[in-house]
Every structure is written in structure tokens, then in C-alpha cells.
Amino acid sequence: MKIGLVQYRYINNDIAFNLSQIEKAMISSRNKADLLCFGETFLQGFDALNWSFENDRNIAVTQGSEIIQRLCDLTLRYGIDLLFGYIERDGESLYSSCMVIEKGRILHNYRRVSIGWKEHSITDDHYREGTEITPFFYHGRKILLALCGDLWEYPELFHTDALMIWPVYVDFTIEEWHEEFEQEYPKQALLAADETLMINSLTDSPKAVGGTFHMKNGRIIAKLPYDTEDILYVTIRDPSHS
């Protein structure tokens, strides 16, 4: 199984552009990946919300929305599956979620359990966290999802023998990555899983330079250059053949 970790730029509140970035990655990954993974809230952008529910309900998308159907259609067109972060609306509730689409259908949908995605001092009960942390199987491999602060706030809840996929959004500088966080993130990931794939996006406002790693046993074993649009391709062995 080949997984592509996509460190691409998104624009806050520009779903059309962000969809075009997803399709661009799919085109460039033909015959290179089974699954492409994007960062936290890639579809709308981490700073897309203004914490007024009447505004934000129109930015969030439902699982049955036309936008999600377009993404389902893209997986069929290009023969590549998708994993991406997005702001989800379910009824009158909003979540920071991560969806996996396989062959035109929703395979898995995870809702972030930690509160760091929102301005919790000014948001009301419309802005919610998930309550379920369950693995899923893809190409015979057990996978568990976490979003950004989940592994910092509740690493014990995510302890697993599965492959961890960890979309994040952070805006550290390149210097901060080199001096501190390239050491801290692998150590934190190891509290939950032996092997973790982490994806961080690029943004211009505020400036985010990425930080996309294949981590194993507390070390980074492959990474993308900072502040550069690129895709890190990782081969994950079937455990039955390992």
C-alpha cells in the first residue's frame, strides 16, 4: 500500500481553490499512491470560521453535501482514495473532522475530541467535539486517526497497534521546527503508536510552512522540505507480509 502525504497550500474560505489543490495532487499522484492524505481542515482552512454559528454553519459541509460528493467522484475518476480534514456540520452541530473516501464512498469519518480547534471561550454548544476513537481497515491495514491536539491532550486514549495518521495544523517557523518540534512531535506520537504519518499544510495568512513526517519508533524517518508544496510517498507493508 502506498500513501501520499500532501503538503499543499490552502486558502481560508476558498473551497473551490482547495478542491483544485486536491485534484492537482491526485493528477500528480497517478500510479504513485493508493491514498492521499491532507492536513487538518484542509477543505475550508483552519481559520475559515468566525465563531458566529449563523455564519459558520454555511462554511461547514455535511457528509451528504454536493462538495463531498464531488470528492467521492474524484476518487473514482483518478483511482486514488482521499483522507482530508474539514469542518463538518451535522444538524445544528459543527465539528473538526477527518474523512476517508474509498472508491467513491465514505469509508470513515472521525471527529476531533480535543478543543483546540475552536475559540472555546467564545463559542457555544453548536461547536462540538467527537466522542468516538475507533480504528478502520484500509487495504487490510488497521488505521487510527487523530487530529492535531488530540495526541497532546489525550495520548492515552489513542494508544494503538494500528498505523496512526495524524493531520495537524500548526504555524511554527522553520527555526522552531529544527530547534524543538522535530524532536517533540515524534516523541509525542510514540506515546500512541509505533508508526505515525503526520501531515501539515502550507498557508500564507497566517504563515505556515508545513511539517510533514513519516515517524517510526520516536524518530522521523522521512520528511518533506519546509515551505514547499510536495508529496511524501510512503510504502506501508501489509502486516501479513511483514
Q: Indicate whether 6 pLDDT > 70.
A: yes
| pLDDT tens column, 171-201 | 999 999 999 999 999 999 999 999 999 999 9
What's the predicted TM-score (pTM) here? Answer: 0.96
The three cell numbers locating residue 185: 512531535
- Predicted confidence at residue 49, as pLDDT, reads 96
Sign of the CA dihedral running 46, 158, 99, 32:
positive
The pLDDT of residue 172: 97
Q: How far apart are CA 51 and CA 202, in angstroms?
A: 23
- Give me the mean pLDDT over the 90-94 stretch: 98
10-59 pLDDT, tens digit each: 999 999 999 999 999 999 999 999 999 999 999 999 999 999 999 999 99
Phi, psi of 203 (to 5 degrees): -140, 155
> Which pLDDT band holds residue 240 (cuts at 50, 70, 90)?
low
Report the pLDDT value the prediction gives residue 17, as an integer from 0 to 100.
99
Whether pLDDT at 242 is above 50: no
Structural domain of residue 163, as residue ranges? 2-241
Q: Residue 202: which CATH number? A: 3.60.110.10
**Cis omega (within 30 of 0) on the bond before 206?**
yes
Q: How many domains does the chain have?
A: 1
Given this model, what pLDDT does residue 182 score?
Answer: 98
Q: What is the pLDDT of the chain when averaged over all its residues? A: 97
For 49-61, how does the pLDDT look when each residue is reduced to its tens digit (9 = 90+)? 999 999 999 999 9
- pLDDT at position 96: 98
CB-CB neighbours of 118 under 10 Å: 20
